[in-house]
Amino acid sequence: MPGKMIYLDYAASTPVDSRVLDRMREVAELNCANPSSTHAAGREAQAIIAEAAAQLAELLNVSPGSLIWTSGATESDNLAIAGGARHRTHRGKHLVTMKTEHKAVTDVFEALAKEGFDVTWVDAGADGLLCPDSFAAALRDDTQFASIMYVNNETGVIQDIEALGTICRERDVLFHVDAAQAVGKLPIDLGNLPVDLLSLTGHKFYGPKGIGALYIADRAGCHVEPILYGGGQQRSIRPGTLPTDLIAGLGMAAAVAATRIEPDLAHLRALRQLLWEGIRCVDGIRLNGDPGGFPGILNVSVEDIDGESLLLALEPLLVATGSACNSKTGEPSYVLRALGLGDDQAQSAIRFSLGRPTTRDEVEFAAARYRDAVAHLRKLAPDRAA
């Protein structure tokens, strides 16, 4: 595939599904009204938003009224964590999360620590999985809030959300889940999962950028304080004029996902296995994270190779050395270091992330390109230890 860019960075963002684009275009051309307006066009915009809420609610098995629209997962995480923790200070000021969380989570906990909250950072195992017993041991009598990611954005590790949530319910701890990498990709039944708050974003599952949602369980004690003020929309939890076309797009992405999750998973499993079989022969290669994680992500390190040099040598593959939000620091992945990797191992990591449009030909080309790139870089470093 000479000269053709091959996109293998679906964990960073996905292309907008054609049905989503059609729905957004239809809404944008049909209705320009502010959905807060009480006139006919405003009421029509409200109806479009209600339809999208019903589509997303069906995907998650929740009530449409439990969903708050946001600008994306980062805002949803901030609203859930800061808003939830501040609402429950009467319960205590101890919070629990993991070292391998997304920056949209870790940075909020660090900010709350400066406000006087006490944060415990629990460790994952070498495979990235959090042991429920270790999680339970981190909870105290004054623990009031915990946040654990569903699918890790760098390694694809899937946490046992049901077990962790059950522990939280038994201890009266509010439980938040960053599900940006899980919604629309894995079956999620919030009607039966013990989750209080769940964050999601549209652009991770073939919807538009700039729109997300926060699920807030309808149960006693489950509430968040606003972090934005003005207007009073969405019960004043998240005020501001709602983007009708973006919301309609997210709703359509959810409707499409509801029919695609199982075939997509089967497609990704086959491609991930093909990719791993094609590169596992490389000397010194290591698969990072639990091999049984989300099949759309394969994170590998290799001995004696610099990640940035490898990234350039892999062109025209469009892959990542870490999460998209943290790719400009030049530092080794804090997620991989938390799993016990040294700086050199973490620095050499490449994340391949596959998607609905990925083909077998692209994966076979990617595997060959990776093998050739490593071999080429090693020829440039003849002093490499045998």
For the chain (386 residues), the mean pLDDT of every run of 10, in chain order, is 84 98 97 95 97 98 98 98 97 97 98 98 96 98 98 98 98 98 98 98 98 96 95 94 98 98 98 98 97 97 92 96 56 91 93 98 98 95 58
- Same domain, yes or no, for 215 and 289? no
Is there a single domain that holds both residue 54 and residue 73?
yes
Q: β-strand 174-178 against 197-201: which pairing, if any?
A: parallel
Q: Is 321 in the same domain as 207?
A: no
| Residue 385 domain flag | no
CATH of the domain at 104: 3.40.640.10
Looking at the fold, whether 110 and 226 belong to one and the same domain comes out as: yes
Question: According to the model, what pLDDT value does residue 3 have?
Answer: 62
Beta bridge partners of 95: 119, 145
SS3 201: strand
- 120 and 38 fall within a common domain: yes
Beta strands 6-7 and 317-318: pairing type?
parallel
- Calculate helix-pair angle for 40-60, 244-279, nearest 10 degrees: 30
pLDDT at 383 (0 to 100) = 61
Is residue 1 assigned to a domain?
Answer: no
pLDDT at 237: 97
220 within a domain of the structure (yes/no): yes
Of 223, 256, 289, the domain-final residue: 256
3-state secondary structure of 6: strand
Asked about 131 being catalytic, the answer comes back as no
Question: What does the block give as tokens for 249?
Answer: 């797009």
Per the structure, the complete domain to which residue 303 belongs is given by 6-14+261-379
Q: Which of 256, 273, 307 is where one domain is finished?
A: 256
Residues 238 and 297 occupy one common structural domain: no
Q: Residue 342 sits in a domain of what CATH number?
A: 3.90.1150.10
Same domain, 248 and 171: yes
Q: Which residues are CB-neighbours of 88 under 8 A, at least 6 positions away?
A: 144, 145, 174, 221
CA distance 293 to 160: 11
Instruction: Answer yes or no: is 31 within a domain.
Output: yes
386 occurs within a structural domain: no
Domain end marker among 199, 226, 256: 256
Strand partners for 302: 285
pLDDT of residue 206: 98
- Report pLDDT for 323: 46
Give the chain's domain count: 2
* Residue 94 within a domain: yes
Domain match, 187 and 286 both: no
The DSSP annotation for 327-360 comes to: TTS-SPPHHHHHTT--HHHHHT-EEEE--TT--H
Is the same domain home to 215 and 285? no
The one catalytic residue in 32, 131, 222, 325 is: 325
331 and 247 in one domain?
no
The verdict on 310 and 351 lying in the same domain is yes
Q: Are residue 32 and residue 122 in the same domain, yes or no?
A: yes
